[in-house]
Structure 1
Amino acid sequence: MHADPRVLRQIAFFEKQGFEIILSGLEYEGGKRFFPITKAKSPFSRALKFGIIVARLTKVRVKEFLWHSSLNDLSLQNPKFDLVLANDVETWPLAIELKKTHTNAKVIFDAHEQYAKEFSDLWVWKWFHKRFVNYVCEHYIPKADKFITVCDGIARDYANDYEVEAHLILNTPDFEPDLLPGEVNGRVRIIHHGIANRSRKIEKMINLINYLDNRFELKLMLVPTDPIYLLELKELAKGKAVEFLEPVSTQYISTFINQFDIGIFILEPVNFNYANALPNKFFEFIQARLAIAIGPSPEMKKIVLSEENGVVTKTFDEIEMAQILNSLSDKDIRLMKENSHRVASKYSNQGNEKVMEKLLQELEILTSARRVVQPVN
């Protein structure tokens, strides 16, 4: 939980509102009260869970998750919750179960993705997980008091598939008032940051450097979720103007990447969520006052074209991207960085907090009294 910027922003928001916060999830490093959700440990338990997944026993799988959750500890050790905020689909049944013992609690589901279509490009996921996730969405979303998600495209899809009204809270970071767009003087430094995930085809951005003018250099700041893939990327980058940087903490990303000129993300739409991506990194590019270079991903594209703070290719081809970047002058890049500076406040977490305040007012739990909040991740 300590590594998820969206969850960290939620925690900070509720702290400012005077709530007492209790956390439950797989891992957390911090000073808050935390109840872990454990994984099956014994060979028998692991074999049983594997059998449940293979047989696609959706209802049994929900019960198995609740069995390993912190449900009993949360219910017995906490006499009253006012709000249960559940991040990610697997925690939604836990939130509803908690409501049974905290009858006056309100429940908000936060959908970071369209979970029933999350890895639709992978047959393994479609066979073993899609049925389960769709079951949770169908049976539990109607039980939540409020439902939030990350972008218009995903909100529309949830409305079409599950007839739910989704409130929009973007993946925008906190406003950084002291950051300014840096000068562009001949050398143009491009940054991409995020996880080293094979489905994101980061090699396209490494291959891009083959077609760029000598004034460009690429920096990659990758979290090694797939160490083998990361080694492959480093091998591919040998001899190129590509440098791998050590990741920084999520709350420092915008400040750190402010030293660069262009934030780049070429994300092929291999599944529904990639096709509708509007990720943290996109808004961190803006907050860092960078020019932005993206493929024609519709959620990102409409902002870049509206704010004139970057370039958008017609395809996801790296050669086309190189042609567009090569055509930019230092003055062009500087103007795009200035436009990101102009809208940095607009695309910051300040707007999200207003949305959340409105939701809590509608649920009648935003008062001057201290309350108990349970973000689950």
Structure 2
Amino acid sequence: MTKTVCIISLTPVTDEPRVLRQSKALADAGWSVIVAGFRGRQEPPAFWRYIEVEHVYETRRLIENVKLDWKRRLSPYSGQYAEDYYWSHAGYDGIYEHIATLENVRCDLAIAHDYFTAPIAARLAALSGGRFSVDCHEFSYEQYMHDPKWIRRERPWVHAMEKRFLPAASVVTTVCDGIADALQSTYKLQKRPVVVRSTAFYHDLPFRPAGERIEVLYHGIVSPMRGLEQTIESVKLWKPEYHFVIRGPGPDDYIGSLRALADQHGVTDRVRIDPPVPFNEMVPRANAADIGFFVQPDISRQKRFTLPNKFFEYVQARLALCVADLPEMARLVKEHGLGTLVPQITPDAIAAQINDLTREKINAYKQASMTAAMTLSWQSEADVMLRAYGIEPARPKEMAAT
């Protein structure tokens, strides 16, 4: 009998790389796949049973809001209060009812993406007589350490939620070793979370030597705390043939502020901000660039242990890499000879590393990405995920990029 998995991610799931890869591996292993989440720009894959959900906020009386706020405040002392607050917060109860009652979902395995879907997955697993797992994209306990309001108001509740649900999950997975260790030590987990890196599907793309114009590409979510402001400011210090391209989704006002910053520093002719492209086009489009770029500040363990989708997408695009000197990315850059590391997130430090990337070095790093592409691909990582869920991968396996 075919087993069923329900993947719950409160993101635009049709554009969410980790959900798309995860669901493909499970479908290839013979499982029936249900995915619940917000609608993205792309149509869902044909093999999904897709359930579009949304937050529905209820109007409450003042006294009800006061009671709920006290539950949030008391959540560090009571996991039940933390969960009670959750079910009345941001319409999560309505999302569960949509999946379990309106759509009548029953599954053998419910996979929660991050702590804020864990209660939904846990309740759905209990209803179905199945298991639930939590896939932690982040070390959420330190996710917004730059925001004093979040630290004061939300962080204790986040900690209480993860403390309640991570130990109860049949499997906890995460994206890198640093976060796996932090989760295990913070929540006293009996088993270390299984590391399933956010590697990209393998792409068979050509080596493209650097030309007269050198393109430095950042692609991904366009938002603060990703070093974009410092990088735009640094462009005026770059050699004239080097240009910076930002490609991805982001709030209009923030993107407008980046354009204004480029104008302020006199580099509008060398900074281009492109709209996002569909998931299937991200890596092939990136192949037209020369350097894959990502820096962010080391202000917390969450930031320190970053190992994002884009790192592996740049490798699949056969780019040279220029990334922050943070331990998870640095280890792979050094192991595979993929590029250069930025020691500080300042305009001067960024410019120094970019200017040091001669065409000869760029081509050598691109060749290193050619060599590492299969090793650092989802084709190599999918089996790790399947075995974490107790699923033996099918043989022979063909998992081409979708």
Deviation at 1:43, TM superposition (A): 3.3
* Mean CA deviation greater in 285-294 or 197-206: 197-206
Deviation at 1:187, TM superposition (A): 2.1
* Equivalent position amino acid for 1:277 in 2: T
Name the residue aligned to 1:60: 84
Deviation digits for residues 79-127 of structure 1 (CA, Å, limit 9, x no counterpart): 7421111112111111111122222x12221000011111122112122
Is 1:265–1:294's contact at 8 Å kept on the other side of the alignment? yes
2:256 maps to which of 222, 227, 231: 231
Instruction: Give the 3 Å change call, closer, same or farther, for CA 77–268 of structure 1 in structure 2.
Output: closer
Instruction: Give the 3 Å change call, closer, same or farther, for CA 82–322 of structure 1 in structure 2.
Output: same
CA distance in 2, matches of 1:367, 1:332: 39
Deviation at 1:265, TM superposition (A): 1.1
1:33 maps to which of 40, 44, 49: 49
1:320 aligns with 2:349: yes
* Equivalent position amino acid for 1:320 in 2: A
- Gaps of at least 5 residues in structure 1 are 369-377
Deviation digits for residues 319-362 of structure 1 (CA, Å, limit 9, x no counterpart): 1232233233211110010001100111110122111221233x
CA distance in 2, matches of 1:77, 1:213: 57
1:141 aligns with 2:166: yes
- Gaps of at least 5 residues in structure 2 are 1-12, 74-81, 395-402
Q: What's the secondary structure of 2:15's corresponding residue? A: coil
Deviation digits for residues 8-65 of structure 1 (CA, Å, limit 9, x no counterpart): 1111112212221222234465364344544234433899569735762523212325
Aligned residues: 362
Deviation digits for residues 158-185 of structure 1 (CA, Å, limit 9, x no counterpart): 01111221101111110002x0221113
* Equivalent position amino acid for 1:282 in 2: F
Is 2:100–2:106's contact at 8 Å kept on the other side of the alignment? no
2:137 maps to which of 112, 123, 139: 112
Q: What's the secondary structure of 2:352's corresponding residue? A: helix
Is 2:180–2:194's contact at 8 Å kept on the other side of the alignment? yes
What is the TM-score with the length of structure 1 in the denominator? 0.88
Deviation at 1:72, TM superposition (A): 6.5
Is 2:295–2:342's contact at 8 Å kept on the other side of the alignment? no
CA distance in 1, matches of 2:105, 2:232: 54
The answer to which structure, 1 or 2, has the higher relative contact order (CA under 8 A, 6+ apart) is 1
What is the TM-score with the length of structure 2 in the denominator? 0.83
* Equivalent position amino acid for 2:288 in 1: Q
Instruction: Give the 3 Å change call, closer, same or farther, for CA 133–336 of structure 1 in structure 2.
Output: same
Name the residue aligned to 2:287: 258
1:308 aligns with 2:337: yes
1:284 aligns with 2:313: yes
Deviation at 1:313, TM superposition (A): 2.6
Name the residue aligned to 2:196: 169
Instruction: Give the 3 Å change call, closer, same or farther, for CA 46–190 of structure 1 in structure 2.
Output: farther
Is 1:22–1:34's contact at 8 Å kept on the other side of the alignment? yes
* Mean CA deviation greater in 266-275 or 333-342: 266-275
CA-atom RMSD in angstroms: 2.4
CA distance in 2, matches of 1:143, 1:284: 33
| Identical columns (%) | 24
1:358 aligns with 2:384: no
1:186 aligns with 2:203: no
Name the residue aligned to 1:206: 232
Name the residue aligned to 1:20: 32
* Mean CA deviation greater in 114-123 or 19-28: 19-28
* Equivalent position amino acid for 1:293 in 2: C
Name the residue aligned to 1:374: none
Name the residue aligned to 1:372: none
